Structure 1
Amino acid sequence: MNLPHDDKSCGWYAALPTPEKATGLAGRQVADYAVIGAGFAGLAAARRLAIHKPEARILLVDAQRVGEGASGRNSGFVIDLPHKFALENPDPEFKQRLLRLNRAAIGQLQSLIGEHGIACQWSHAGKYQGAVGERGLAYLAHFEKLLSELGEPYHSVEGAALAKVLGTSHYSRAVYTPGCYLMQPAALVRGLASSLPDNVELLENSPIFRVERDGKGGYVLHGANGEIHTQRLLLGTSIFTREFGYLQNRLLPVMTFASWTAPLDEAQSKRYSGVFDWGLTPADHAGTTVRMTQDRRIIIRNTYRHVSKYGRSVDDAMRNRIRASHRKAFLARFPELSDVEFTHTWGGVYAISRNFTNFFGQLDDGAFASACDNGVGAAWGTISGTLLADHAVGAQSSLLDDIQAVTGMPSLNPPEPFLGLGVRSRIMLAAWQSRSEL
């Protein structure tokens, strides 16, 4: 079994204080509900179950510490708009459903952050979609067309006005959309975990090696130092869902990488000519994402890899090559900050499907999952986990109708080695085509 195996180089997590000692799975435990995976989806599912079933015992178990996995490794965007290929869907109602779901997730997160005082650099900063050359500008024009058809507000920014925000003249033009929020992902998920209801017990550093039926309609979850017996199982495990025997040959493990700098000091901040706290995604999907954080760090994210063994597919040599490519992208944008060094380079693994379809719903009697976020984990994980709990207890809502209407079964993948060859070739082609936007 391939378990999560993330390196210790994630900048978001390293910037946090050392957490309190973890409680792990030990002995024989009996729970009314067990949730595997304490990322955005699992945290939301456990919280919602606790609201529905305040007298139930709910165990939330994760192979790592909260914030060490994919949910704490993204670029810190919570995006309201349909993402990438979903925005191309010809059905307007499909996109309106996604908007409702994403905005419900944002509202839910904002409420929890306020209620529990979660310090995570939460900011209603909006988002820039940026273009460098002709290829990017063509994608940007298409993006504007799709936004107009959707009836969503946006405005174009270019020239000196754009450079004044970003602190670089590298970009020709950008489209600003106001509905995106920015945050520190590892801080957010840790804050969500520390504010769970009293009837949710969090078990960390407790990988589950095997899930089997107990012959009585329930499940047994086997760990190294104990086991969990439960009648209801919810999986917020994204790509790792396939390790438990579900959705096999339907999910593709992809890792994307980021590097960030130390916080700019006073002298460096004076040389930097932009504002602090903004985020830019590339108009060309394979281009470079850039963020300036509230604590004055610059993040560069690009480079994708097919990682059949998740974190174990990455070694120091690969990470160093990626870091060098990030450095090139950084200097192209901020040459006046050449003395600012990267302190961390990290990757995060997520699940995509060949038909860009997210799975949501029942896997087996008493077993439910939200899997395959296709690269939009913060908003999608939050709302899908919430609604998965609703589904598991039989609660109905218009949002549950929405998510069931926009999800389905990820398509089957070809067998290895053809799958790996195809994915790697597609990633290499996309990088070559988008080289001017990197």
Structure 2
Amino acid sequence: MILPQYDGHCGWYEALDNVSAFPELISNVRVDTVVIGGGFVGCAAVRRLAENRPDERFLLIEALKIGQGASGRNSGFVIDQPHKRDLESNDNDLKRKLVRLNRTAIDYLKTQIDQYGIDCQWSPAGKYQAAVGTRGEKFLSHYEELLKGFGETYERIPRERIKSVFGTDFYSSAIFTPGGALMQPAALMRGLADNMPDNVQIAENTAVTEITRTECGFLLKTGKSSIKCRKLILGTNIFTAELGFMRDHILPVMTFASMTKPLTDDQMKRYGGQLDWGITPADHAGTTVRMTQDRRTIIRNSYRYAHDYNTPQELLPGLGLRHRKAFDARYPQLKDVEFEYTWGGASGLSGNFETYFGQIEPGIYLSCCDQSVGAARGTVSGMMLADMACGKKSELLSDMVEVSGAPSRLPPKPLLRVGVPLRMAMARFASRSEV
């Protein structure tokens, strides 16, 4: 059984000060519902359970420390728009439901941030999608037509305005959509965990290794404890298959990022752009760029089929050099800016681009295959899984069921280990001018 591992390289997590601790579970317990996985799905699900049923006890189990896993390793976007594949659907009503669900997630997170004073660089800064050259411009124009098609607000940013925002004239054009947010993901996850309702218990560094169905529900085994519960909610991302569910349906893909040290005052003058923005590439295989509120730049590109689920450390130096090249191409005036961290973060895809949401077996609820938009999708999925488990019906839950599907069965793993890297290499070559 492959368990999550923390490599000590995630810049978002390593930049945190005074990280709190929740003890490993070492005693046997009984609760109503156990939530496995302390990411966006799990944290939203256990909070919503506690809100729905304040007189019951709930347990959130995380194999690492909250913020060390995939939810603390992304680029810090909470995106309100449908994912690229969903955006290309001809069903505008479906797209509007996706937007409503994503914005519900954003509002839910913002309410907690305001209520508990969570310091996570949260900002309603929206998102830019940018193109470098002719290939990227074609994708960007297609994106613009899709936004027009279902009436979404956006602004096309001409080349002459780009440098004043991004501090570089590397990009030829960009589109700004105002509805999303930016944040420091590891800080957000820690803040959510530190401010759970009183009827939520959290156990960190506690990996579930066995799930057995009983007459009254389930018996879970960890390294040092056993847990009895009536219901289970799984927010286990790509590790879901290790618990025996969705085997051969989740494609684990890892993307890699590097983070600079904070820019000095002199480097900021040479930079000349704004703080607090994020770019996703118009070309799917291009480079994501973030400039944070605390003067750090994040460069994210390069993909890997994560058949072993965790980050191979020997790959990081070469990936850091690839990020260095992308940074220098954008900011030749900042070649003295040092990278401080390089890390990988995984997401779960499906072969047919469908997400899964619902009751996968009696008493077991699951959301997976987030298609790399886990912050908003994971949050609202967790909320709605909790409502489903509590028998609480709503229009949002109906929408969640409608926009979800059945991930297709993947080819055998030996074929995936050859075919997926080959396809990624072809995409990287085709998109080389946009990276």
What one-letter code is carried by the residue in structure 2 that aligns with 1:374?
A: Q
Mapped partners of 1:309, 1:3: distance in 2: 10
Q: SS at the partner of 1:240?
A: helix
The answer to whether the 8 Å contact 1:82/1:98 transfers is yes
- Give the aligned length: 435
Shift of 1:347: 0.6
Aligned to 1:176: 176
Q: Which residue of 2 aligns with 1:414?
A: 411
Supply the distance in 2 between the matched residues of 1:18 and 1:8 (Cα, whole angstroms). 16
1:101 Cα deviation from its structure 2 partner: 0.3
Q: Which residue of 1 aligns with 2:232?
A: 233
Q: C-alpha deviations, 1:352-411, integer Å up to 9, x for none?
A: 001111110001111111111110010011100000000001100100010100111110
| Alpha-carbon shift at residue 20 of structure 1 (Å) | 2.8
User: How many Å separate the matches in 1 of 2:219 and 2:236?
Assistant: 17
Q: Partners in 1 of 2:121 and 2:413 — Cα distance?
A: 42
- For 1:18-417, list aligned pairs within 5 A: 18-214=18-214, 216-311=215-310, 314-316=312-314, 318-417=315-414
Q: Alpha-carbon deviation of 1:41?
A: 0.5
Q: How far apart, CA to CA, are the structure 2 residues paired with 1:5 and 1:429?
A: 30
Q: Which region of structure 1 is more displaced relative to structure 2, 184-193 or 1-10?
A: 1-10
| More off after superposition, 12-21 vs 53-62 | 12-21
User: Normalising by structure 2, what TM-score?
Assistant: 0.99
Query: Secondary structure at the residue paired with 1:426?
Result: helix
TM-aligned CA deviation for residue 350 of structure 1: 1.2
Please say if residues 239 and 309 of structure 2, whose CA atoms lie closer than 8 Å, have aligned partners that are also in contact. Answer: no
Letter aligned with residue 239 of structure 2:
F
CA distance, structure 1, for counterparts of residue 404 and residue 39 of structure 2 = 20
Q: How far apart in 2 are the matches of 1:113 and 1:20?
A: 17
**Would the aligned equivalents of 2:31 and 2:58 in 1 still touch at CA under 8 Å?**
yes
What TM-score, normalized to structure 1?
A: 0.98
Indicate if the aligned counterparts of 1:217 and 1:365 stay in contact, CA closer than 8 A. no
Tell me if structure 1 keeps the 8 A contact 2:20–2:194. no
SS at match of 2:31: strand
- Distance in 2 (alpha carbons) for counterparts of 1:26 and 1:102: 37
SS in 2 for 1:175: strand
Decide whether the 8 Å contact of 1:169 with 1:333 is kept in 2: yes
**Matches of 1:388 and 1:21 in 2, distance apart?**
27
The structural deviation recorded for 1:57 is 1.2
Which 5+ residue runs of structure 2 have no aligned equivalent? Answer: none
Cα deviation, residue 426, structure 1: 1.2
Instruction: Give CA deviations for 1:298-333 in whole Å, capped at 9, x if unaligned.
Output: 110000000111115x132x1111110000000000
Q: How far did residue 27 of structure 1 move?
A: 2.1
1:430 matched residue in structure 2:
427
Unaligned runs of 5+ in 1: none
Give the C-alpha shift of residue 26 in structure 1. Answer: 1.0
- 1:12 aligned onto 2:9: no
AA in 1 matched with 2:317: N
1:166-192 deviation digits (Å, cap 9, x = unpaired)? 000000000111111000000001101
Partner Cα distance (1:400, 1:22) in 2: 31
Question: What percent identity do the matched residue pairs reach?
Answer: 51
Q: Distance in 1 between matches of 2:388 and 2:169?
A: 49
Runs of 4 or more consecutive aligned structure 1 residues displaced over 6 Å after TM superposition: none
Relative to structure 1, the CA distance from residue 158 to residue 319 in structure 2 (aligned partners, 3 Å threshold; closer, same or farther) is same
Aligned-pair distance for 1:22? 2.8
